[in-house]
Amino acid sequence: MEIQGICPLLQVFDMPTAIRFYRDVLGFQVHATSQPGDDCNWAWLKLHSGELMLNTAYEADQRPATPVPARVAAHEDTCLFFGCEDLDTAYQHLRSNGVNLKEPKVAPYGIRQLYFKDPDGYGLCLQWPATQQTHDQWVGEYGIEPKTIA
């Protein structure tokens, strides 16, 4: 068996809000939708080699007025990680787009990370090697450019 790639599916409360966040803030391209426009039930997004699908959590006639707290709390178990070399620029860009987040930090395992949440409460993390050891690992695993980390 040979599996090629992965494309997570996230259940979202409000599709237009989710699409605007992933497309207009994070830079994903909308590859396909269940019907034209942002107010659809399903969307397939792509960003470089990354893929993500969004699906409405409720049928339009069954959607509650506000997100169900227990459902949003369950999103704490999900975090998507993305490679991003320039975390300082990403931090400024996200802040200028109203995203609530703290400055990037270096994790004990040598990766600099920037955590935040999407409109549905799913965790997102932009990360990049902060030490020579982790950078050298990423060179082999992800094909990033070799360089010396100061």
Long-range CB contact pairs, 46-52, < 8 A, 24+: 47/82, 49/5, 50/82, 51/5, 51/6, 51/7, 52/7, 52/8, 52/9, 52/10, 52/22, 52/28, 52/80
> Which band of pLDDT confidence, cut at 50, 70 and 90, is reported for residue 87?
very high
Give the model confidence (pLDDT) of 43-56 as tens digits. 999 999 899 999 99
3-state secondary structure of 141: helix
Nearest alpha-carbon partner for 29 in 57, 50, 55, 4: 50
Percent of the chain scored above 70 by pLDDT? 100
DSSP code for 31: E
Q: What global pTM score does this model have?
A: 0.92
- Do residues 28 and 43 touch, judged by C-beta distance below 8 A? no
Helix (H) or strand (E) segment spanning residue 79: strand 79-83
pLDDT at 88: 97
- Do residues 9 and 22 touch, judged by C-beta distance below 8 A? no
